[in-house]
Amino acid sequence: MTDERAGRLLRPEESSPRATFLELFFDLVFVFALTRVSMRLIDGTGGSVGTLLAEIARTGVLFLALWLLWSITTWVTSRYEPERPVIQFVVVGSMFGAMVMAVALPRAFEDRALAFVLAYLAVMVVRPLIIGTALRGHPRRAVPLRLLAWAVLGAVPWLVGAFGPEHLRLPVWVLAVAVDYTGLLLGWPLPRLGPARTAGWLIAGEHLADRYQQIFLISLGETILVIGLTYSGAEFTADRAGAFTVAFVTTALLWRIYFHRAGHLLGEALRVARSPGRLGASASSTHLIIVTGVLSTAVGYELVIAYPHGRTDPTWLVFIVGGPAIFLAARSRFEYEIFGRVSWSRVGGLLVLLLLSPAFTLGPPTMALAGAAVVLAAVAFADARRSRGRPSEMAASPLGHGGTGGGEFPAP
């Protein structure tokens, strides 16, 4: 392929910033995958604190692998033209790999370890190999080849963990995840070539923002599935009806708090940033934490709807209170990325949740869920009151804001 033909793979300026139908199709797998993540956490809540922490660590490793697959696919479709057959093939292949990982996830640390690892490595190794081959003769070929080299490096601990004894799987896979994310954070450095830092990347900012908003909505959709499936499979009682209602309201509040001001301006912030790659990488980390908070909250929903009576198990508060707390903390960071400041209401809501946690153990789980919902409602009310009658704010990201700097598309 000539340099000119290879260059056609890059996303052109006239390309629509909206996600394509192919990308939305790809996201459908993650609706299922995120339910597997939350269900694995729910299954691990019945034991001791040590057992719960170990299950959180195992599930966290699997979720980080899924997130990296989704995140890099998102960057691929933001840097390359998703209407090209090669990119479409890559996205569909990544979709199949994610599906296999999701199916294997509930027993990925047991008898399905090899299936999970092989699906993950097939995407992480084959995808940059295909793109690098398609870009033959183009300067941009170096980026996928960097990803390929680091994927091969990370494959070693992944395979050692899959073939090794089960009791060593967690620490070995933690090392594997650390290798994969170290490559991402450092820009996949190679000897003599150094790193290719994301700070220097020019990407389709509005498209990237659209994708992050969609994965957040997918995580909210997963909570709706949890609420509906749990309540429909349980006996209808007044307590469960109350928990069902409060859970739905909590999900609506998460949506409201996320999209208030900052949630609508990520695309604009990326468009005017002198370093859109740096802001995009930071936003990716922030949305990882936001989605983690939403998934944790969904686990709390199922526990409360299924068991609304009696005193609250202290370990359940990790999800009932911890989920909203993680969300507020990440949303505070998101606000800083867009405006360079943090609203007191989010910090105050986070502190109130933490301070009230001991008191929640004295009552039924429904009380703890309702208390978390009241705190989120107070944050949403403070947002509405602060913005009433005021003009919309402009993005003022401290991560390279500039009215005429930067750009949206890959640099040559």
* Number of structural domains in the chain: 2
CATH number, position 284: 1.20.1410
Q: What pLDDT was estimated at residue 16?
A: 67
pTM of the model as a whole:
0.90
**Same domain for 264 and 192?**
no
Quote the mean pLDDT of the chain: 87
Last residue of a domain, one of 167, 196, 225: 196
In a domain, 394, yes or no: no
Q: Which residues pair with 313 in a beta bridge?
A: none
Q: What pLDDT was estimated at residue 404?
A: 37
**Same domain for 376 and 265?**
yes
Last residue of a domain, one of 144, 178, 196: 196
* For residue 409, pLDDT beyond 50: no
Structural contact between residues 221 and 24, judged by C-beta atoms closer than 8 angstroms: no
Q: What pLDDT was estimated at residue 311?
A: 86
In a domain, 400, yes or no: no
For the record, the structure tokens of 152 come out as 């091969």
In a domain, 351, yes or no: yes
**Same domain for 359 and 222?**
yes
**Confidence grade of residue 65 (pLDDT, cut at 50, 70, 90):** very high
Q: Which residues pair with 401 in a beta bridge?
A: 273
**Same domain for 184 and 228?**
no
- DSSP for 328-348, please give it: HHHHHHHHHHHHS---HHHHH
Burial of 343 by CB count in 10 Å (0-12 exposed, 13-18 middle, 19+ buried)?
buried
Instruction: Give the residue among 200, 159, 323, 337 at the shortest CA–CA distance from 261.
Output: 337
- DSSP for 148-182, please give it: HHHHHHHHHHHHHHHHS-GGGHHHHHHHHHHHHHH
**Same domain for 144 and 186?**
yes
Q: What is the pLDDT of residues 294-335, one digit of tens each?
A: 999 999 999 999 999 888 889 999 999 999 999 999 999 999
In a domain, 149, yes or no: yes
In a domain, 405, yes or no: no
Last residue of a domain, one of 144, 166, 196: 196
Q: What is the pLDDT of residues 166-216, one digit of tens each?
A: 999 999 999 999 999 999 888 888 887 777 765 556 566 687 888 999 999
In single-letter form, the type of residue at position 130 comes to I
Instruction: Give the residue among 358, 296, 355, 351 at the shortest CA–CA distance from 327.
Output: 296
* For residue 45, pLDDT beyond 80: no
**Same domain for 185 and 225?**
no
3-state secondary structure of 80: strand
In a domain, 13, yes or no: yes
**Same domain for 235 and 320?**
yes
Distant-in-sequence, close-in-space partners of 294: CB < 8 Å, separation ≥ 6: 216, 219, 220, 222, 223, 254, 323, 327
Give the DSSP letter of residue 273: B
**Same domain for 19 and 134?**
yes
3-state secondary structure of 390: coil
**Same domain for 333 and 364?**
yes
In a domain, 175, yes or no: yes
Q: Which residues pair with 194 in a beta bridge?
A: 190
* For residue 397, pLDDT beyond 90: no
* For residue 11, pLDDT beyond 80: no
**Same domain for 308 and 347?**
yes
**Same domain for 33 and 150?**
yes
Q: What is the pLDDT of residues 225-247, one digit of tens each?
A: 999 999 998 889 999 999 999 99
**Same domain for 60 and 114?**
yes
Domain that holds residue 251: 205-387
Q: What pLDDT was estimated at residue 129?
A: 93
CA distance linking residue 108 with residue 103, whole number of Å: 9
